Structure 1
Amino acid sequence: MHVLVVHNRYASAQPSGENKVVDQEVALLRAAGHRVETFERRSDDIAARSLPGKAAVPLLVPWNPSVRRELAARLRAQRPDVVHVHNVFPLLSPAVLAACADAGVPAVATLHNYTQVCPPGTLQRDGQPCTECVGSSVPLPAVRHGCYRDSRLATVPLAVSLTANRRRWWTGVERFFCISAAQRDVLVRAGMPAERLAVKHNFVPEPDVRRTGPGEHVLYLGRLAETKGLRLLMAAWDEIADGGGAGVPLVIAGTGPLEAEVTAWAVGRDDVRYVGLYGPEECRRAIARAVAVVAPSTWLEAFGLVVVEAMAAGVPAVAAGHGAFTELVEDGVTGLLHRPREAASLASCLRRITDGPERNQEMGRAARLRYERGFSPAVGLERLVEGYRTAIAGRTEILGGNK
């Protein structure tokens, strides 16, 4: 199969689960013998633009005409079987869908978040769940509240794009890949075409190292942001420390807007280590040495990549009991679910996961089995190719019906 992958890569200064997923899927398809090429833009390149060029970026968010021309020409020249769209913000825009239509190539799209129904894609405002814009044809509440980067001006291009391109997305994509059933439910309720929405969990490559003992730390791995539950985790860990500690340190790896706050909180403590941004190999080894991985997100995560990476290494997770985590983590079997946004509940789960080594290792073995059955490369490849074939068949039926 000949696949063209379209993706606007996120800035490299912070960890990006989407970039990782795209790279892993490309490698998986190529290893299976498929021909895969990429059409990309990089957010890192914005910094090198002239001042007028930087000022023009918001205007490209709803529509980038040069991308349409360039991609359409490439599609006509190379004739891939299918185009797989990932992120299009901010430099690609939904013009990529028009290019696919121009060239008559079917498109599939992975929905990594909720940008189809929420301009910033988080379904959250001021640290609390928010669905004001879900189901609305014009997301004015997002603009009024400045939901993207706490800025009304920065939110406007996203709101305009969502409003202007809603129909183009919903009719121009043959198959949407939702990365969890929880995400699909939200999108169906928002009015997206249910028949085009398929659940395809992200897969995780087989790790080169797995846990062999009880573990030596609790690990938080990801972006240092409030939506990821960092402040909640700090409050819960302080509660545990006041009660005598967990017996192992908390290791926090990543970068983000709360980095200074996390750094200051960790200074002078022997029960907390902030280690900065880990590379891929460091991440894998840190997970394999963990008693548990903690994912206390306060927003409704559409997936939860670090939880599945922990499963692959035979490590249980402590995660928030909402969003995709409820289908990834079987409470009490492969990990523990805490009550969302409740520090006391998170602290209780962290105590439980660190108190009983035998029970912890039993959960780790169950987590590994769950990975093998649902999130391995073999399963990921099968579901990915199945989605492509469905999209190609759907496009063929449409063309046949128009003859």
Structure 2
Amino acid sequence: MHVLGLTDHLGNVGGAEISARTILSGLAVRDDVDAVTVVGIDDSDAKRLDFDGVEVVPVDPPPGADSLPDFAVDLLVERRLARAARSRAADADVVHAHHRRSALALSRLDVEPPTVATVRDFWPACPISIYDVGGERCTGCDDRLNDCVAHQGWDGLTEPGVKAYLLAKRRHQRPALAAADCGVFIADHIRERFAGSVELPDYTETIYNPVDVDTDVAPADFDAPTFVTASSLSESKGVETAVRAMGRVVEEFPDARLLAFGDGPQHESLEALADDVAPGAVEFHGRVDPEAVYEAMAGATGTVFPSVWDEPFGRITVESMALGTPVVGSDVGGIAEVIEDGETGLLFPPGDESALAEHLLALCRDSSLREGLGDAGRERAADFTPARVAEEHRALFERLVGE
């Protein structure tokens, strides 16, 4: 079997690109896969990922892309990707687009092999890919466009033009997924959100993201209850909830700490909040190497993932499980899909600082709870190993080729 992959970026831009690289490289080492090729945009400002065993076909980004509107870049990139992929599709048994622009490029191809588009966020229904308005689930541009524009700060004199732009981008994106022979979703809740509102391919399947964690890291040695959160410091990530919960935790465990890794627009306001509600209990470490996060997480009492929006997947949930550290997450999106409450982790209503505090206190008090959740989490994490996810993709491709 020869797999032709399309990716928006060959560089290390984010988790989506790392997932695509991991899947393609995982396929390349299999004895039942003859060859793997990837066509992707070669960003000069991002270090290229190492696609072990994969033939890499770099595509130059459009000139001046950094200064163009996102929609214009979409149109240029999808054409470039489609042009580069078209000449190689004849030798492929399956063509797999891993991201939004890649899926748009896929819809421009008229090729014989079956085509697959992976959906990693809400782009088929939402022009800005988040399908969320201030932490509330969006019901679509037909009735929430005004709220969305206001929430993003795009209202004002340019508002009519912004709305026209978003609607045009939405119209362009919506047919792309249905043009594929198969849609792969990285979580069931994304597919369920689209049911009845977006035309889907005749065949769809859920295959979770691969998560590759170095579980041999040396755990940090903490002498007091310590919790870790790692994300952007932005409103949607709900770190404020974790900070407020720590105010309750330190009443019973004065030495308890929350280590916050990451940066973002709420950094200063969160530091001020921490000084107010939990003085000295929250440490902001900014952006650090993943290994430093893993070391802290491996030695922590628990990991906190307090997002208030529907995380498409939630990689940190699985990373914590793989390290044997109990994870406490919001009962939303991919977080709730990965965690079985009380079995492989603990869930709490998004934004509910009291419920989160009770979970954190329970972990501080009960070592058997920590051990039980940690052991069950390790078992659950085995469902997301790169080898397991590569096998699921190969089996899917086999079914499509057979049909």
- Both structures adopt the same fold (TM-score exceeding 0.5): yes
Q: CA deviation at 1:185?
A: 1.6
Partner of 1:400: none
Change (3 A) 1:344 1:56: closer
How far apart, CA to CA, are the structure 2 residues paired with 1:158 and 1:105? Answer: 33
Partner of 1:223: 232
Q: CA deviation at 1:361?
A: 1.2
Match of 2:27 among 24, 29, 33: 29
Partner of 2:204: 197
How far apart, CA to CA, are the structure 2 residues paired with 1:327 and 1:214? Answer: 31
Partner of 2:333: 323
Give unpaired runs (5+ residues) of structure 1: 134-138, 395-403
Partner of 1:124: 132
SS at match of 1:39: strand
SS at match of 1:325: helix
* C-alpha distance after superposition, 1:22-47 (max 9, x if no partner): 2222232223254323222267759x
8 Å CA contact retained: 1:62, 1:161: no
Greater Cα offset, 323-332 or 308-317? 323-332
Partner of 1:301: 311
8 Å CA contact retained: 1:266, 1:274: no
1:97 and 2:124 aligned: no
1:237 and 2:246 aligned: yes
Partner of 2:98: 86
SS at match of 2:113: coil
The structure, 1 or 2, with the larger RCO (C-alpha pairs under 8 Å, 6+ apart) is: 1
* C-alpha distance after superposition, 1:177-211 (max 9, x if no partner): 11222222212243443742211122322533278
Change (3 A) 1:62 1:209: same
SS at match of 2:301: strand
The within-5 A match list for 1:1-400 is 1-9=1-9, 16-33=14-31, 34=33, 35-41=35-41, 54-55=67-68, 57-62=70-75, 64=77, 66-67=79-80, 70-76=83-89, 79-89=91-101, 94-99=104-109, 101=110, 103-133=111-141, 139=142, 141-142=144-145, 145-146=148-149, 149-151=152-154, 157-170=165-178, 172-193=179-200, 195-205=202-212, 207-209=214-216, 217-241=226-250, 243-245=251-253, 247-265=255-273, 269-372=279-382, 374-394=383-403
Partner of 1:398: none
How far apart, CA to CA, are the structure 2 residues paired with 1:141 and 1:42? Answer: 36
Q: CA deviation at 1:338?
A: 0.6
SS at match of 1:352: helix
8 Å CA contact retained: 1:214, 1:361: no
How far apart, CA to CA, are the structure 1 residues paired with 2:65 and 2:374? Answer: 53
* C-alpha distance after superposition, 1:339-391 (max 9, x if no partner): 1222221222222222212211111011111222x223342122111222233
Give unpaired runs (5+ residues) of structure 2: 47-60
Change (3 A) 1:111 1:240: same
How far apart, CA to CA, are the structure 2 residues paired with 1:84 and 1:353? Answer: 43
Q: CA deviation at 1:57?
A: 4.7
Partner AA of 1:290 in structure 2 = A
Change (3 A) 1:159 1:357: farther
8 Å CA contact retained: 2:331, 2:348: yes
How far apart, CA to CA, are the structure 1 residues paired with 2:186 and 2:319? Answer: 15
How far apart, CA to CA, are the structure 2 residues paired with 1:331 and 1:20? Answer: 28
Q: CA deviation at 1:307?
A: 0.5
How far apart, CA to CA, are the structure 1 residues paired with 2:177 and 2:280? Answer: 51
How far apart, CA to CA, are the structure 2 residues paired with 1:393 and 1:143? Answer: 47
How far apart, CA to CA, are the structure 2 residues paired with 1:65 and 1:128? Answer: 31
Change (3 A) 1:297 1:154: farther
Q: CA deviation at 1:49?
A: 8.0
- Aligned-residue Cα RMSD (Å) equals 3.3
8 Å CA contact retained: 1:10, 1:16: no
* C-alpha distance after superposition, 1:66-111 (max 9, x if no partner): 42552244325x622222212235xx67133213x2x333221221
* C-alpha distance after superposition, 1:226-259 (max 9, x if no partner): 1111222222223434x24464311111233323
Greater Cα offset, 23-32 or 144-153? 144-153
8 Å CA contact retained: 1:232, 1:341: yes
Change (3 A) 1:71 1:387: same
8 Å CA contact retained: 1:209, 1:288: no
Partner AA of 1:71 in structure 2 = A
Partner AA of 1:145 in structure 2 = C
TM-score, length of structure 1 as denominator length: 0.81
Greater Cα offset, 149-158 or 341-350? 149-158
8 Å CA contact retained: 2:215, 2:322: no
Change (3 A) 1:27 1:283: farther
TM-score, length of structure 2 as denominator length: 0.81
Partner AA of 2:389 in structure 1 = G
